[in-house]
Chains A and B, each alone.
Chain A
C-alpha cells in the first residue's frame, strides 16, 4: 500500500461517467423507435433514461466522492492514522498524520482507491495564489496548494470562482491562508519521516 503509484484519474470511471448515460439513452431511444413508436412504453424508454442521465451527471459524482471520503475516514480510524489535519477539496481530500509522517488521499475522479502514503514521498510543496493581471486588474479566481508525489502533481483548490477577486479580498486571503497552512502541515509531516 505504501508503494502504491498515485493515479489522479481512473480513465474507465471518467469515460463511463460521461458516456454511460449517453449509450444507455441511445439504446433505449433505438428500442423505442424500433419496437415501441408510441404508447406508455415509448414514454418510459425516452423519459426514463433522459431523467436518470441528468440525475447521474448532476449528483452521482459528488455522491460517489462523498462516499469515498467517508470510506477513507473509516479506514484511517481503523488503521490508527492520526488525522491532525484533513482538507476536503472539490477534487481531492487530503488527510495528514504529522505524528507518524503519513498522508492519505482520495480523488474525485478516482473514488474507488484511497491512498495512504509515507510523507517522505512528497518531493515538493507550494502554493499557487493564481495571481494574474497588473495594477487595478490584478486578481485571482483560484487559490490552491500543490505537491508532487513521485512525479505526480496533485493540485488541491482552497478557493475557486468564475469571478476574479482582488488579491486582498476576503475570499482570496482565506484561500491563501488555508493553502499556506496545508503546505506547512505537509512539510511538517515530511520532516517527521526524515
Chain B
C-alpha cells in the first residue's frame, strides 16, 4: 500500500512529500506578472516573483496578453508539513496556458501568500 502511495504521490503536486498524504489548501492568491505574450522568460529564483508580481483579485483584472501567477499554500493535515505551489500561466479567454510550476517547501515565497 505504501509503495503504491509513494508512486501515486509522484504525480500529485499537492501531496505531502514527507508522509505522502493529500495536503489541504490553506490559502490562494493571484498575481499579474510583468511579462507579455511572446516574451515569456522562465525564472526559477523565488526573489524574482517576490519583487515583480502585482496582486489582483480576479483573473479578469489581468490585461489581455499578460502572464499571471497563481500561488497556493498547502498544509499536510497528518505531519503539518507546509508547501507553496507557484504556477505561471497565460490567461487566454476562458483557458489557462501553463508555462511553469514550482513547489517551494522552505518558506521562500511565504510573503506572497500572507
Which residues in A have some Cβ–Cβ distance to B below 8 Å?
A: 168, 170, 173-174, 176-178, 180-181, 184
Contact = CB atoms under 8 A, between A and B. Distances in A.
Interface in B9-35: none
Given A173-B90, A173-B92, A178 B97 contact: no
Contacts of A181: 36-37, 63-65
The interface centre, meaning the residue of B65, B93, B95 with most chain A CB atoms within 10 A of its CB, is B65
Nearest to B38: A178
Contact of A174 (B63, B64, B90, B93): B90
A181 B90 CA distance: 12
Chain B interface, >50% SS class: loop
Closest 4 A-B residue pairs measured CB to CB? A181-B65, A173-B97, A177-B37, A173-B92
A173 B89 CA distance: 11
11 contacts: A173-B92, A177-B37, A177-B64, A178-B38, A178-B65, A180-B93, A181-B36, A181-B63, A181-B64, A181-B65, A184-B63
Given A168-B95, A174-B38, A177-B65, 14 more contacts: A173-B92, A173-B97, A174-B90, A174-B92, A174-B97, A176-B92, A177-B90, A178-B37, A180-B64, A180-B92, A181-B63, A181-B64, A181-B65, A184-B63
A70 to B, nearest CB: 20
Contacts of A177: 37, 64-65, 90, 92, 97
Contacts of A178: 37-38, 65
Nearest to B65: A181
A174 B37 CA distance: 7
Nearest to B96: A173
Contacts, number: 34
A63 to B, nearest CB: 23
Contacts of B65: 177-178, 180-181, 184
Interface string B37-52: 1100000000000000
Interface string B92-113: 1101010000000000000000
Nearest to B36: A181
Contacts of B93: 176, 180
A184 B37 CA distance: 14
Contacts of B92: 173-174, 176-177, 180
Nearest to A87: B38
The interface centre, meaning the residue of A177, A180, A181 with most chain B CB atoms within 10 A of its CB, is A177
Contacts of A184: 63-65
A60 B89 CA distance: 39
Contacts of B64: 177, 180-181, 184
Nearest to B66: A181
Contacts of B90: 173-174, 177
Contacts of A170: 97
A70 B21 CA distance: 58
Interface string B51-91: 00000000000011100000000000000000000000010
